[in-house]
Chain A
């Protein structure tokens, strides 16, 4: 059990005209806790996960695992990643037993009998029949494959597990089973976990803390219930209001034309606050709020509630000054 810490991590692709997918992100996954990471596609959540396991180049900052820089750790690190698509994350030509065996630390299990026993143990752990170790992934359903992917990640004896959109390729009826499994495993093995999803309801169900990412930056982070009931950043509110629900109407909190603005181009992120071209309490609505265009709200975010990267957070202002557009809950 150890904590995972991103210390001002940046990931940059390409040369001069390249793209900064992750920009100076600092985030801590405390030991034994689940941190949920939400944000829209292109916000850099998956890139952050890939940077932690060495699949994306860290151009600045450090990723620390239990206080040690991951770049200095041996190749088999106690940090594992479960991928989004269970149809492409398992080698179609390897039996699921072989895939799991491959991820075991070398020398951890004596002989082939020891390794077989460990495969059986891991398959049982993820509620699969241990007799199916010789099955090829092609004979399994999506939910079963995702369990195998989980078992493979656990074979590496990780302290920290990163789950990158692991239920978004699955049907609703299967999603619940996988989430139940992830939660019970996390508790039983006392794993630290970074759980990434674009679905707030999924993240809320599992997480102790929630971090919200927008255009390569973390804009708000805090205890799960607090972030959801008292969101400080306007973008978090938008995400909450937009989550589809059978109980709410489509036109609750319609922002008119402002809602139809396009997401910003990550190649040319807006100046100041990156959310200002879409923000309903920003300079588009309040002409006097030029500070949003000129100054980066990341400065001094640590002082604000939920480390919100916003010049006009809800708690900064008197309640009357908050334009109640969309209800958050």
Chain B
């Protein structure tokens, strides 16, 4: 399923819209960025409560299809501009990481 379809199905709020036709092939939940870099796979929807400048950089390096900032957490302004530069799709949601992951599983 594409980023666009996942975003619609899960009613995510767009923060930064990149390549929404990218295919989502898995899911990773993580807030420790070094751990995310070692575990997240290309094509993952990465769910995190982090909203700082390093999130788009890590998403780009790991080739995640999209980032979902969970639990209603906010993305920093400088993170948003970095995401726009890098063309990373970032969405937010009030839902928990667990709830989002369960819904993503239903989509894959």
**Do A and B make up one complex?**
no
